[in-house]
Amino acid sequence: MLAVLFATFGFVFFDRLALNYLSPFFKDELGLDNSDIGLLGGIPALTWALAGLSMGYLSDRKDRRKPFLIGAIVVFTLFSAMSGLVGGLASLLLLRAIMGGAEGAVLPLAQPMMIYSSSPRRRGLNMGLVQGSSAGLLGGILGPIVTVQLAEAFGWRAAFLATVVPGTLLALLVLKFVRDLRLQDPATIAQDDADGAPSVPGDDRASMRFVDAVRTRNVLVCLVIAIFYLTWFTTTQTFAPLYLSEVKGFDGGQLSFALTGIGIAWVIWGALVPGISDRIGRKPAMIGFTSLAVLAPLAVIGIDSPVLLFLALAVTYTGLGCFTLLMATIPAETVPRHLVATCLGLIMGVGEVVGGFIAPWLAGRLSDSFGLQVSMLISSGAALVVVLLAFALKETAPARVGVSA
């Protein structure tokens, strides 16, 4: 399950970030400006948010995940590939919106399956591998290398069309190898109790309502943190390629090499941050590693050497490991099982609407007026706000709250 879900969510980010890496190739051909690029980067976030919230609720109600996951993979693969057939902004926006909706369903389906299949001492690490390292390896490392090389060799349209092959393979792997974990089945609950699966102290697994869950401190704080962390992530991913290409004059090879530093960091920190949080606690991990993430956009502005920028991004791009904590692990350790997917979808949805959709569009507008460096400053400032908000979190790591591992 870990291997297949790792590949599935990694390919989600390969598809989502392909547009950012290819924007220098199609921007002039389609007659787009920076605000258009920001809108294209943000529109999948809007539909991602709506799908995440609705699919989280539906999967909790139906207690089914595998059929929805297969359907989501098929849809986002198809519409990502169709992005290579567009003739202008409107058609590209429509296709990316539908694609984002299908991709948004994946995380609320995958992470509950992962958390209840993991022992407490491996919970953070496994969830980090699914949500963090997978996105780094496929979206951050292979993404800029494969998409840029395909675009230079065959054109940017071919780079989009090629995504249909791995997407089809992943749907078949999920169909064959992933078990449809029924989280509300009495036998599953009894086994999870024996294995030490996450639960809410004093909760009978049925008494807490959704409105009560939303009012808990951790869910509220994670909701707000998600807005600013998605601003950090989406704004950096959308405008860093353009900044390096247009302002610093990086060619295709230099661009893909420098941005691969993000992918290296994504793979390493995506698993290491949640893994470390299993030992030192979720809260100190969020504070410490987000402090490093503040520096990543500033490195894009301040470092002119592709080699040094690669190294700087590899060290400072720690945020996707923190994403796993705020969007999955901390909420799942705070609310009972029958509300996990719904709360995960809510946190992801609120963050995607404001931080993933509105923020990059606003950053694009400001960049048109004041220069692309503004987008990187917005990104860095958003991460700094997260550092301050993280002090309000309540610790949930089993090793830090007396739950035996």
Contact 355, 229 (CB under 8 A): yes
| pTM, entire model | 0.75
Q: How many angstroms separate the first and last alpha carbons of the chain?
A: 22
Contact (CB, 8 A) for 327 and 222: yes
Residues 10 and 167 sit within 8 Å (Cβ to Cβ): no
Per-residue confidence of the chain (405 residues) as pLDDT tens digits?
888 998 888 888 788 778 878 888 888 888 888 778 878 877 887 888 888 778 877 877 777 888 899 999 999 888 888 888 888 888 888 988 898 888 888 888 887 888 777 777 777 788 888 877 887 788 777 887 888 888 888 888 988 888 888 888 999 999 888 887 766 655 555 555 554 545 544 444 445 677 777 888 999 999 999 999 999 988 998 889 889 988 898 887 888 788 888 888 888 998 899 889 988 999 999 999 999 999 999 999 999 999 999 999 999 999 888 988 998 889 988 888 778 878 888 888 888 888 877 888 888 889 888 888 999 999 999 999 999 999 999 998 876 665 433
**CA separation for the pair 22, 3 (Å, rounded):** 28
Q: At what angle do helices 340-351 and 34-62 cross, to 10 degrees?
A: 170
Residue 304, burial from CB neighbour count under 10 angstroms (0-12, 13-18, 19+): exposed
d(CA 24, CA 125): 35
The DSSP secondary-structure symbol of 335 reads S
**Whole-angstrom Cα distance, residue 329 to residue 118?**
12
